[in-house]
């Protein structure tokens, strides 16, 4: 069983500016209402520490593995709950240059595993968190703030 959450937003700036924000891990707590922190090195195969805070939910800490890093285009990781196959989440940040000075940012996660049907209610809060993060990213990227 798989379920995908996918959100997108157009941001009036170049992908390089958005990438700079997404990869500046030390500043997540200053602007990101959903992903409160990321610690580690963004290299494929490396594990990172992530703290998320979905709206109206308890925070959650996990240690996903980076699966792809393509500067100015893609950052993805795979997280698992306890054991692989129970509840796995493939998280993606995708940036597409619209060639008009703007970028389409797609923020998605595909959840797989036997627990997915039982946790679908929580995924609504996760989707709201994605949307809040997208808006905060847009505001930060379109401002002169670093």
Q: How far apart are CA 57 and CA 139, in angstroms?
A: 24
Instruction: Residue 62: name the closest of 39, 83, 44, 79 by CA.
Output: 79
* Rounded percentage of the chain residues whose pLDDT exceeds 70: 99
What whole-number distance in Å separates Cα of residue 28 and Cα of residue 101? 24
Q: How many CA atoms lie within 13 A of 68 on its CB side?
A: 11
pLDDT at 58 over 90: no
Residues facing 11 on adjacent strands = 103
Residue-level pLDDT at 146: 56
Query: Over 80: is that where the pLDDT of 119 sits?
Result: no
| Average confidence (pLDDT) over 11-26 | 98
Structure confidence by residue, pLDDT tens digits, 88-107: 999 999 999 999 999 999 99
User: What is the Cα–Cα distance from 70 to 91, expressed in whole angstroms?
Assistant: 14
Q: For 108, left (φ over 0), alpha (ψ -120 to 50), or beta?
A: beta
Q: Which sequence spans correspond to the domains of the chain?
A: 2-142
H-helix or E-strand spanning residue 65 = strand 65-70
Say if residue 124's pLDDT is above 90: no
pTM of the model: 0.93
Classify the phi-psi angles of 101: left when phi > 0, otherwise alpha if psi is within -120 to 50, otherwise beta: left
| Number of Cα atoms under 13 Å in the Cβ half of residue 43 | 3
Homologous superfamily, domain 2-142:
START domain (3.30.530.20)
Q: Which two tokens mark 48?
A: 């990172």
- Selection from 40-49, 52-61, 117-126 with the highest mean pLDDT: 40-49
């Amino acid at each position: 069983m798989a379920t995908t959450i996918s959100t997108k937003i157009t941001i009036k700036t170049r992908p390089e500016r958005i990438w700079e924000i997404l990869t500046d891990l030390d500043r997540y707590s200053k602007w990101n209402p959903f992903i409160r922190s990321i610690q580690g090195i963004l290299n494929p195969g490396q594990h990172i520490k992530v703290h998320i805070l979905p709206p109206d939910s308890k925070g959650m800490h996990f240690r996903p593995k980076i699966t792809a890093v393509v500067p100015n285009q893609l950052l993805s990781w795979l997280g698992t709950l306890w054991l692989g196959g129970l509840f796995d989440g493939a998280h993606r940040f995708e940036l597409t240059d619209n060639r008009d000075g703007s970028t389409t940012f797609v923020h998605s996660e595909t959840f797989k595993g036997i627990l997915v049907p039982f946790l679908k209610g929580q995924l609504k809060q996760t989707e709201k968190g994605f949307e809040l993060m997208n808006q905060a990213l847009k505001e930060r990227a379109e401002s002169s703030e670093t």
